[in-house]
Amino acid sequence: MCGVSGVAAVRRNVGDGLRGNVEGMERWLRMIRVSIVGARGRMGSTVVDAVGRAGDMTLSQSVDAGGDLASITADNTDVAVEFTVPSASRKNVLGLIKSGVNVVVGTTGWDEDGLDAVRGALGSSDHTGQSVVIAPNYALSAVLMERFAAQAARYFESAEIVEMHHPDKVDAPSGTALHTAHVVAQARADAGLGPMPDATTGQAESRGQVIDGVHVHAVRLRGLNAHEEVLLGNQGEQLMLRADSFDRSSFMPGVLMAVRSAASGNRPGLTVGLGALLD
């Protein structure tokens, strides 16, 4: 027979087991349920792996690019991460908003019309409190480089941007370079700077695309991954800011940061750029 001390030990063990089960259930309930759109793509599959390794997230649904998004609902998803192609991204994001889920978007190529469409969708009373994060780049080095460029641009007479990527990238210039150009141009305008000096005449295609007065150059070369330089110049001096992403894993800390922000409910509406989450 089991003595009094044995009974007490059994009771303690049972209590410990129940407490462990309750704590495990509480941890599970706190897990962020993440669904991936574009899960079989290069970036999407990397996000799947990152979510699987994150201690506070669980993978809910995986949908390939062009797949049916109906499986992603507010009942099974807290945040959907969308990494597809520019031609499909807008429709995907608006559909996910309609389904009532928060969205983190890594697909590039968004313009103001697309961003306004997202703002309009989130402005509906049915979607109060939903969050969408759209960032052209989730590498912390690139986001910080852009911030440093905005700080420096007001002090330099000239500024140009060179972005370099692998030849499989479908858009050019990159979304990061476009966003950086807007940021640099705004910093210059706020400082009261005029047009940059440039004596080029005649055919000037080799001078790159001009974005808000900032020349942006795109390189596509096998062996590259994702790289950007901001060149700033004055008489007799030059400042070069450069960010290099050598592997897609470099984007994952930023993606997971955005997922946590979207799930928290602390920043409802549309957030453009990862920099806002660093404040």
User: Which of 51, 7, 9, 15 is CA-nearest to residue 33?
Assistant: 51
> Cα dist. 229→207, 218, 225 in Å?
15, 11, 14
Q: Kindly report the number of other CB atoms within 10 A of residue 96's CB atom.
A: 27
Q: Does the predicted TM-score (pTM) go above 0.85?
A: no
Contact 261, 133 (CB under 8 A): yes
pLDDT of res. 20: 57
SS3 157: coil
Domains and CATH numbers, the chain: 26-134+249-278 (3.40.50.720), 140-197+205-246 (3.30.360.10)
Going by pLDDT thresholds of 50, 70 and 90, the confidence category of residue 203 is confident
- Give 99-139 pLDDT, tens digit per residue: 999 999 999 888 899 999 999 999 988 898 999 999 989 99
- Report how far Cα 201 is from the mean position of its chain's Cα atoms: 39
pLDDT of res. 2: 47
**What is the amino acid identity at position 193?**
L
Q: Which long-range contacts (CB under 8 A, 24 or more apart) does 45-53 make?
A: 46/248, 46/249, 46/251, 46/252, 47/81, 47/83, 47/106, 47/252, 47/255, 50/249, 50/252, 50/255, 50/256, 51/81, 51/256, 51/259
User: What is the CA angle 103-150-194, rounded to 5?
Assistant: 125
Q: What share of the chain is helix, strand, coil (3-state, %, to 5)?
A: 45, 25, 30
Percent of the chain past pLDDT 70, that is, above it, reads 90
- Give 1-50 pLDDT, tens digit per residue: 445 555 455 456 655 555 556 555 455 467 999 999 999 998 999 999 99
Q: Sign of torsion, CA 93 94 97 98?
A: negative
270 Cβ neighbours under 8 A, 6+ residues apart:
115, 118, 119, 122, 132, 133, 134
pLDDT of res. 202: 80
- Give 50-97 pLDDT, tens digit per residue: 999 999 999 999 999 888 899 999 999 999 999 998 899 999 999 999
Contact 268, 127 (CB under 8 A): no
Catalytic site residues?
A: 165, 169
**What is the amino acid identity at position 60?**
S
- Give 231-276 pLDDT, tens digit per residue: 999 999 999 999 999 999 999 999 999 999 999 999 999 999 898 8
Query: How far, in Å, CA of 41 to CA of 267, rounded?
Result: 28
Pairing between β-strand 79-82 and β-strand 209-211 as defined by DSSP bridges: unpaired
* Residue 123, token pair as written in the block: 């402005």
- Give 142-178 pLDDT, tens digit per residue: 999 999 999 999 999 999 999 999 999 988 999 899 9
Contact 90, 83 (CB under 8 A): no
The kind and range of the H/E element at 50 are helix 42-53
